[in-house]
């Protein structure tokens, strides 16, 4: 049976989603929980490899296991074994050909900025503190240039092994609610650090270091050195992964 | 000069506001930061003694210090010395007779319930997980009985050294936003554990273990054993402390 998982985690204590030598990872913790609960070694495949310190409300993963236990029970069983900063929100029996990463057709990420003279104690690990007031209108204008299908070479860190540099951003929103500024991005896929470099660039626009129009030029240049800094991981969260619902690979909402 | 402080903290790592032998406290951390920055021993007086694990967005405190540094600078200076889970949101020069606790005329506390099949990873330290659906209408009906001036003997833990058991609740609201249920209470003062016992009792009503009408009977009985359990500290946050603004003891918003 192939089991699908929807996972929420605070990434602060982890080296990221993917198993690695020098730090605990979310993938490792879930695989260990499976081993503890069922005494089997399962490889858990995630929809995306979130970096160290990046959070998730809706990471999706799958694994295969031979068992008569209903897939819906796995969330309860695994949550008993997992640390409190990783929670299985939902588990379900997936189709045999479901693949959390390969079948994903889009993702929604949110970046949270805390804009106030001082950082937030409560949100110190889940937001980026920016003391300056940001020009939201200019950030929105800049964001418009990034929506659509583009070569995002200027907005990626090298070292990624993904194929191609053309991606489509469906929506890119900048919204303010009192001290919080949320940058929400929906796309069919993201290059390495792409969301964090977009955020860093929009923050530069918000601070007046870049004009909105510059962002179009940066995009056209395909030159990473011209874009803004990579915004810190802690403000980023993977909110949702999208699949083709007609294929019934993901349970109905 | 008397300096006023508005303080945000996540209480998870602390034994509470007040200095104590066996655990670090918020008060201690602020006093230590003052000592590091100014090489003086100051006693910091807080508006209320939050328990271990209770958070604050707007704890108010004061202390006296001889210095020519403007009071507004203290937030920046102290935040450089304080751990990231304690932030001075604002500092100001208070009137000589300002007293964070004695001059307080009211407080607003918020209790956060996370109502979903599984707990939240991101809010594991700042909300109480309740898997059952709660009847919000019945919780609101019960809350109405508690608004006003009452003897809250049934809603306090013994061991408090406060004078009298009569307090006034100005407002007590129960609101739901998707998976979050917020219980907000405004009062002129609170007995030991009073907010957490009110929350525990309202949760019992929400679960159907108590009728709304029972809460009136519990209040009249003045018998702590009849009220609900003391809700866990981690869901509670001190949001705001109120002072008489006519006395200009607290800076204008």
Give pLDDT tens digits for A97-151.
Answer: 999 999 999 999 999 999 999 999 999 999 999 999 999 999 999 999 999 999 9
- Note the ipTM here: 0.92
Q: Which residues of B are catalytic?
A: 51
Ranges of chain B with pLDDT below 70: 160-162, 246-253
Q: Which two tokens stand for residue B69?
A: 């540094």
Residue spans per domain, chain B: 2-103, 106-240
Which chain B residues have a beta carbon less than 8 Å from that of A89? Answer: 116, 118
Class of domain B106-240: alpha beta
**For residue A74, what pLDDT is reported?**
98
Q: Which two tokens stand for residue A182?
A: 């949320």
- pLDDT confidence of A161, banded at 50, 70, 90? low
Element (H, E) at A145: helix A136-146
B2-103 and B106-240, same CATH topology:
yes
Q: Which residues of A are catalytic?
A: 51
CA distance A159 to A172: 25
- pTM beyond cutoff 0.90: yes
Contact A158, A171 (CB under 8 A): no
- pLDDT confidence of A214, banded at 50, 70, 90? very high
Work out the minimum CA distance from A195 to partner chain B, whole angstroms. Answer: 21
> Between B75, B90, B121, which is nearest A8 by CB?
B121
Interchain contact B236–A (C-beta under 8 A): no
Q: Which two tokens stand for residue A10?
A: 């605070």
- pLDDT confidence of A252, banded at 50, 70, 90? very low
| Interface touch A126/B121, C-beta < 8 Å | no
Work out the minimum CA distance from B179 to partner chain A, whole angstroms. Answer: 12
**For residue B124, what pLDDT is reported?**
98
Candidates A114, A108, A72, A59; CA nearest to A231 is: A114
- pLDDT confidence of A249, banded at 50, 70, 90? very low
Interchain contact A55–B (C-beta under 8 A): yes
Choice among A165-174, A215-224, B51-60, B242-251 with the minimum mean pLDDT: B242-251
- pLDDT confidence of A253, banded at 50, 70, 90? very low
Nearest residue in chain B measured CA to CA from A89: B118
CATH of domain B2-103: 3.30.70.580
Interchain contact B253–A (C-beta under 8 A): no
Nearest residue in chain B measured CA to CA from A237: B122
Interchain contact B124–A (C-beta under 8 A): yes
Phi, psi of B4 (to 5 degrees): -100, 145
Which chain B residues have a beta carbon less than 8 Å from that of A118? Answer: 75-76, 79, 87-89
């Amino acid at each position: 049976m192939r089991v699908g998982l929807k996972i929420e985690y605070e990434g602060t204590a982890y080296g990221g989603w993917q198993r690695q030598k020098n730090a605990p990872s979310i993938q490792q913790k879930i695989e260990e929980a499976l081993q503890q609960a069922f005494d089997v070694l399962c490889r858990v495949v995630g929809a995306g490899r979130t970096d160290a310190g990046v959070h998730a409300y809706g990471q999706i993963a799958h694994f295969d296991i031979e068992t008569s236990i209903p897939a819906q029970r796995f969330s309860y069983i695994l949550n008993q074994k997992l640390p409190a900063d990783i929670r299985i929100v939902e588990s379900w029996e997936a189709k045999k050909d479901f693949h959390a990463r390969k079948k994903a057709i889009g993702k929604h990420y949110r970046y949270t900025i805390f804009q106030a003279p001082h950082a937030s104690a409560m949100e110190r690990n889940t937001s980026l503190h920016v003391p300056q007031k940001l020009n939201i209108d200019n950030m929105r204008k800049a964001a418009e240039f990034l929506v659509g299908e583009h070569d995002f070479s200027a907005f990626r860190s090298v070292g990624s092994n993904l194929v191609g540099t053309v991606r489509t951003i469906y929506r890119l929103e900048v919204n303010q609610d009192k001290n919080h500024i949320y940058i929400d991005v929906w796309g069919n896929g993201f290059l390495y650090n792409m969301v964090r470099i977009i955020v860093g660039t929009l923050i530069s626009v918000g601070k007046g270091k870049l004009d909105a129009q510059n962002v179009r030029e940066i995009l056209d240049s395909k030159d990473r050195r011209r874009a803004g800094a990579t915004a810190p991981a802690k403000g980023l969260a993977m909110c949702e992964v999208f699949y083709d619902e007609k294929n019934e690979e993901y349970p109905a909402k």
